[in-house]
Structure 1
Amino acid sequence: MKSDRVKKGLAPFGHWVNIDGLLSTMALLAAMVLWGSSLVAMKYALSYFSPMVVVFARMIVATICFLPFIPTFSRLPLTRAHILPLTLMGFCEPCLYFLFEAAALGQTSASEASMITTLLPLLVAMASGLFLGERISRRTITGFIIAALGALWLSFAGSVSEQAPNPMLGNLLEFLAMVSATGYIILMKQLSRTLPPLFLTAMQAFIGTLFFGPLLLLPVVQLPAAFPISAVLSVLYLGTFVTIGAYGLYNFGVSRVAANQAAAFINLIPVFTLIMGFVLLGERLSGWQLMACIVVFCGVFLSQDTTEECENGKE
């Protein structure tokens, strides 16, 4: 019997459609567009502000936006059992994730970093099998190996440029960001069974603010002397449309589909980032890098084993 949460509606040609599934798909697609743009906006903001300033600013902007929801959040059935997974979720992302990604974008281009994100669905597939009991096939493992080799090729083929002064180091840091994101998705999936996505998104912003705020006091952090309007708008965009919008939409989607299925949408991020990086930042990929991208996509495609439907997230 299907869950009561699954809703259906009549399509124009008389076919019944899963409204809940359609909404989750649209939410995940919208999140990918916003995340694809976030790498470009982040890269632009980092040309004016230090990484810690950018990350803290987007966290505090998001936290302020969530303040009106505090009365609603105070009525949620929170227990002591939620404290540890909530803390670990926030530590994985945004804390570790943005530490690695901000450092990565200082060393590699947004386009190359976006290609490394294609490894995330494969990491989630393996972690889901270990921690959520979701199925891992030999095909998935083979695809992961191929995609990982493609990512290594992409890193070695990268050449030093204004946008990518150290592409190998930058891509490694982006991979570590993906490992952190894997922990976030697994914990998010577990927490979404009892807590609403909006609250989980707010907790991410709040934990991120507490984590990154004290880091601004470190001597190595260069505080901005000027605030160009374009850079400020980029940070505001990251704090509202990305931190609230993208994460809120993705958390909504993850709460309604299997972790594997939601993570598969992340393969769309490079498509949007490559286009935006080309149009807005003038980034280019060499022929060898494009071939490496193809290898990564082939590995990801091979890993998408759909022979057995995963029921997690449909319960």
Structure 2
Amino acid sequence: MSKTRTTSLTNLLQNKFILWPMILMVTIIWGYSFVMMKDAHNYMGPFTFASARFLVGSLTLLVLVLILKIGLPPKKYWKHLIIVGILQTTIVYLCIMYALRFVDAGKSGIILYSMPMWSTIFAAKFLGEKGTPAKYIGLTAAMLGLLTILGTDMWHGENVIGELLIVAGAISWGCANVYYRFHLGELPKIQSSAFQMLFGTIGILLATIITEWNTPIAWTGTSIYYVLFTGILASALCFTVWFVILGLVDMVTATISMMLVPVFGLVLSIVLLGEKLTVSVSIGSILIISGIMIANVKKRYVRLHKGIRKNPNKVSSH
């Protein structure tokens, strides 16, 4: 691997005047991508768009892997990369793209980003991570938020199947996170991201061939822009920058930053698509986002407090 290029990017992002604008840029792009995924239905089938997006994204990442001279992952990891690709790319984006035919973009982002809640549940079950009171409070709040959104729509008989598909995508994403930590934690993140995305894209392509072979495609300036933006920027560039950012900030900051994505998605979908913000979505969004933040912030406070008690004279200044 070319350590010089990676180190240069890391050194650049260590400057706080660059780091925080980059975090903001990544979350805005990811939030904006929900608007594009929703509007893309006007130009092509949902699976066709997902295929085009991730084909562009995976090829871009593979070129980056080639430039950085990272090379192929060892053969023992290939089956795990295929499984993560199916869980994190194929299932998640087949569910979300199909569901966007019925569900608003803003609401979709909120439901999908309940993923940290599912990751925490699976990590406790399969990785043996112990729960804390704050974590359980946060999970309860997030679950109530999800039920607020789903329950209200279920009561009115609106978009329930689409929303349940997004929940299935969030659960699959949570499974992928735990599986990745268990089996692929030793691989370079850019390498694992590139190859899992490649294998996941193959799964989406198969679904597209089976279900949308004769579906018309309107290749216009707008549709091409959507594919290139979500493929190169939202998928390849943002994932690469985000992996570097994860090495520079703590997990609390990373989790809270990630929760900006559905917020931006919700705001941009209202502004650009004219979607309406309902009371149930507002309450559910607040509960989901605050619940995830409570679980993470409180956990960091407890670790910091314990560290000060053990080393009272060791206080860092900034």
Provide the residue aligned with 1:14 in structure 2. none
Q: Which residue of 2 aligns with 1:303?
A: 295
State the one-letter code of the partner of 1:156: G
Shift of 1:137: 1.0
1:224 equivalent in structure 2: 216
In structure 2, how many angstroms separate the alpha carbons of the residues matched to 1:269 and 1:66? 22
Aligned pair count?
A: 291
Distance 1:258 1:83 in 2: 29
Q: Is contact 2:145–2:288 with CA below 8 Å preserved after alignment?
A: yes
Q: How does 1:135-150 map to 2 (within 5 A)?
A: 135-150=130-145
Given candidates 219, 226, 233, the residue that maps to 1:234 is 226
Which structure has the highest helix share of the two? 2
Pick one of 84, 88, 94 that aligns with 1:99. 94
Q: How far off its partner does 1:187 sit?
A: 3.9
Match of 1:251 in 2: 243
Equivalent AA in structure 2 for residue 309 of structure 1: R
* 2:178 aligned partner, one-letter code: I
Does the aligned pair in 2 maintain the 1:120–1:181 contact within 8 Å?
A: yes
State yes or no: 1:194 paired with 2:162. no
1:190 & 1:149 partners in 2: Cα distance? 29
Which amino acid is 1:31 matched to? V
CA spacing shift, 1:52–1:177, aligned 2, 3 Å:
same
**Residue matched to 2:116:** 121
Deviation at 1:27, TM superposition (A): 5.6
The alpha-carbon deviation at position 153 of structure 1 amounts to: 1.4
Measured against aligned partners, the alpha-carbon deviations of 1:133-188 in whole angstroms (never above 9, x if no partner) come to 54421221232122212212112334999xxx943222211111111211232344
Once structures 1 and 2 are overlaid, which stretch shifts more, 70-79 or 115-124?
Answer: 70-79
Q: 1:21–1:130: structure 2 CA closer, same or farther, 3 Å change rule?
A: farther
Q: What is the alpha-carbon distance in structure 1 between the residues aligned to residue 65 and residue 54 of structure 2?
A: 16
Structure 1: which 5+ runs fail to align? Answer: 1-6, 8-17, 311-315
Alignment of 1:1-315 (within 5 A): 19=14, 28-69=23-64, 71=66, 76=71, 78-158=73-153, 166-189=158-181, 193-219=185-211, 221-254=213-246, 262-304=254-296, 305=298, 306-309=300-303
Structure 2 gaps of 5+ residues are: 1-6, 8-12, 305-318
Query: For the residues of structure 1 that align with 2:293 and 2:66, how far apart are their CA atoms?
Result: 44
1:116 alignment partner AA: I
Structure 1 pair 175/250, CA: closer, same or farther in 2 (3 Å)? Answer: farther
SS in 2 for 1:308: helix
Q: Is the 8 A contact 2:113 2:170 kept in 1?
A: no
Contact kept in structure 1, 2:81 and 2:199, CA below 8 Å: no
Instruction: Measure the CA separation in 1 of the matches of 2:194 and 2:237.
Output: 11
**8 Å CA contact retained: 2:109, 2:262:** yes
Task: Judge conservation of contact 1:143–1:299 (CA < 8 Å) in 2.
Answer: yes
Relative to structure 1, the CA distance from residue 19 to residue 189 in structure 2 (aligned partners, 3 Å threshold; closer, same or farther) is farther
Aligned to 2:307: none
Q: For the aligned residues, what is the CA RMSD?
A: 3.3
Worse-matched range after superposition: 18-27 or 255-264: 18-27
Distance 2:64 2:286 in 1: 44
TM-superposed CA distance for 1:302, in Å, is 3.4
Query: Shift of residue 262 of structure 1?
Result: 3.5
